[in-house]
Amino acid sequence: MTATTDGSTGAVNPRAASASEPTESTIAADDVLAAARRAAERSVEHLLGRQDAQGWWKGDLATNVTMDAEDLLLRQFLGIQDPATVEAAGLFIRGEQLVDGTWATFYGGPGDLSATIEAYVALRLAGDRPDEPHMARASGWIREQGGIAESRVFTRIWLALFGWWKWDDLPELPPELMFFPKWVPLNIYDFGCWARQTIVPLTVVSAKRPVRPAPFALDELHTDPLVPNPPRRPAPAASWDGVFQRLDKALHVYHKVAPRRLRRIAMNVAARWIIERQENDGCWGGIQPPAVYSVIALHLLGYDLDHPVMRAGLDSLNRFAVWREDGARMIEACQSPVWDTCLATIALADAGVRPDHPALVKAADWMLGEEIVRPGDWSVRRPQLDPGGWAFEFHNDNYPDIDDTAEVVLALRRVRHPNPASIEAAIERGVRWNLGMQSRNGAWGAFDADNTSPFPNRLPFCDFGEVIDPPSADVTGHVVEMLAVEGRSDHPAARRGIEWLLAEQEASGAWFGRWGVNYVYGTGSVVPALIAAGLPASHPAIRRAVGWLESVQNDDGGWGEDLRSYREEKWIGHGSSTASQTAWALLALLAADRRDSTAVSRGIAWLTENQQADGSWDEPYFTGTGFPWDFSINYHLYRQVFPLTALGRYVYGDPFAARTATDEGA
């Protein structure tokens, strides 16, 4: 990451297209079409060349250096550091430092206190001295921001493992939580699946409160080393935060008097829960953070490093490492082969690759093999529902993803397979599972139904990102689009989903993007779905969405939206143009019958002019969302699959438009 030309670390200033732009294209349509066709052909060749021999695609999934720092801290805690790993991780972390000494959580973003503290500690472990210029800049900035005391809870947990922070000054998370039935508030199934998988092992860590000898002091990261743990500011007593602060104080008292036998039973229940959810590849949920905390929890409960569960868990963590040509080692928070493969299949099919092409058939075979046919945690809320979904990762049978399942169905529908019965059966199971996962309000979340409890986010422990999984417009849009393609636009579930989407449209005409940045993603997901489900382009909701997209188009013809749009209204719809966000806007405009507009012509031109010689696009900006603002993702394949999909639909049209479009309102 580098600073901008004005010396700041922020993204470029927001800008929108001029309001005086003509409505219809003044760019020669034949020239744009010819350029789009050439760009699509190059992109197809590039994407086909990236397919794995087994049939899948996977791009790197970049997040921020906390993944790398916590990997080193875990190895230090377990006593399994090795010089090569430490050196490679240090090389990567140093390369991500900004000129002001900080580390950001997304490209072009501001320094983040917790990320900077964790990166600093990791470099200390890698041998960097605190008086070196890059380290002194970091520690000085940390002190200016309030020091360790102002960092998030998860950062202070890592520091507490080595005595750099006091366990007494952390929120309490008792393992007796495991005894709560599912109807009791704050039971583990009130949390989103990613939070649930992290919180369960952390209840064991919180109960055990381990401290390993610290290899050095961190006095330079406190505003006052003599008072390293200053008291926290109390919330107003009458507020919910005040209530939960008092609850936390009560839990700290309980920690001192908890019956030993009851606590031991609770920790054993947690251990069984963790082990039962370990995937075949040794990981937990296919994501790095739960795997890290699960390994620590089991180790604290007496599982030695040679135990099969521990060996498999540690081996799985090594598979999150991406080794770069310069010798640096980056840790992925997750891997996205199912998501990448279904999106790549859609892109190639929509760009004119014949449906029986060997690459598409091979991709379909691989996706068929990834279908999850056993119950998981989702069945706690839907016990009568038969399985039939797809997850995001290579191995994550406990947590299939509603969004992935919808997109896999859309991908499989585009493939002419030599065994069509297998495709039809998988599609039917996927559609049935998605229908059964609809929430009471008519929309869909990502992993669970009705995961909307207001209490988990109130816990003092949960100060980082989303910990529940409420329905979102982007996921609901993808499900509605899938149902429309399957000829089920009139299904009661689809109609309720459409009504929910229409009610969720904001006054600007845009939709909020939960899993992608941000309103451009939400709007780019919803408009094609509503059109596919039967809304005409003349519908007021579609007209407002089109008007908003055209109003935020950048002067260069592309679209971009900075991650700060999750916090600052002025950034909504604004930011440097990116290939993926330009494609999302184009997909909405093309679906809304704006193919001949100036906005579409300029957007297509931006894609063709910014394509690289090998048929790919470069995209340093993060356009994926883990938790809005708090955890951002750069999916390295987004910059390939979405532009190709947009170019393909511009050149060849929507492959399902004739089946789904009508001239009547919904």
| CA 67 distance to own-chain centroid | 14
Q: What is the pLDDT of residues 567-601, one digit of tens each?
A: 999 999 999 999 999 999 999 999 999 999 999 99
**What would the mean pLDDT of 449-472 be, rounded to a whole number?**
89
Q: How far apart are CA 12 and CA 582, in angstroms?
A: 16
Q: How far apart are CA 301 and CA 309, in angstroms?
A: 13
Q: What rounded mean pLDDT belongs to the chain? A: 92
Residue-level pLDDT at 13: 37
Q: Is the pLDDT of residue 171 over 50?
A: yes
Contact 337, 405 (CB under 8 A): no
Q: Is the dihedral of CA 92, 96, 99, 103 positive or negative?
A: negative
Q: Angle formed by the axes of helices 638-652 and 29-48, to 10°?
A: 140
**What would the mean pLDDT of 311-338 be, rounded to a whole number?**
95
Residue-level pLDDT at 24: 45
In CATH, the number for domain 21-48+505-627+638-660 is 1.50.10.20
In terms of C-beta density within 10 A (0-12 exposed, 13-18 middle, 19 or more buried), how is residue 65 classed?
buried
φ/ψ of 300, rounded to 5, equals: -65, -25
Query: Do 51-59+336-455+465-502 and 21-48+505-627+638-660 have the same topology in CATH?
Result: yes
Residue-level pLDDT at 3: 36
Residue-level pLDDT at 237: 74
Q: CATH number of 51-59+336-455+465-502: 3.30.420.130, 3.30.230.10, 1.50.10.20, 3.40.50.620? A: 1.50.10.20
* Active-site residue, selected from the candidate residues 397, 403, 474, 556: 403
Q: What is the DSSP letter of 13?
A: P
The yes-or-no answer on residue 403 being catalytic is yes
Give the three-class secondary structure for 625. Answer: strand
Give the three-class secondary structure for 295. Answer: helix
- Give the start-to-end residue ranges of the domains of the chain: 21-48+505-627+638-660, 51-59+336-455+465-502, 64-218+235-331
Residue-level pLDDT at 47: 98
Name the pLDDT band for 233 (thresholds 50, 70, 90).
confident
Q: What is the token pair recorded at 573?
A: 């719809």
Element (H, E) at 299: helix 288-300
Q: What is the pLDDT of residues 344-372, one digit of tens each?
A: 999 999 999 999 999 999 999 999 999 99
Residue-level pLDDT at 27: 59
Q: How far apart are CA 548 and CA 523, in angstroms?
A: 9
pTM: 0.92
- Cα within 13 Å of Cα(386), Cβ side: 8
Q: How far apart are CA 297 and CA 77, in angstroms?
A: 12
Name the pLDDT band for 247 (thresholds 50, 70, 90).
confident
In CATH, the number for domain 64-218+235-331 is 1.50.10.20
More confident residue, 254 or 160: 160
Q: How far apart are CA 397 and CA 247, in angstroms?
A: 35
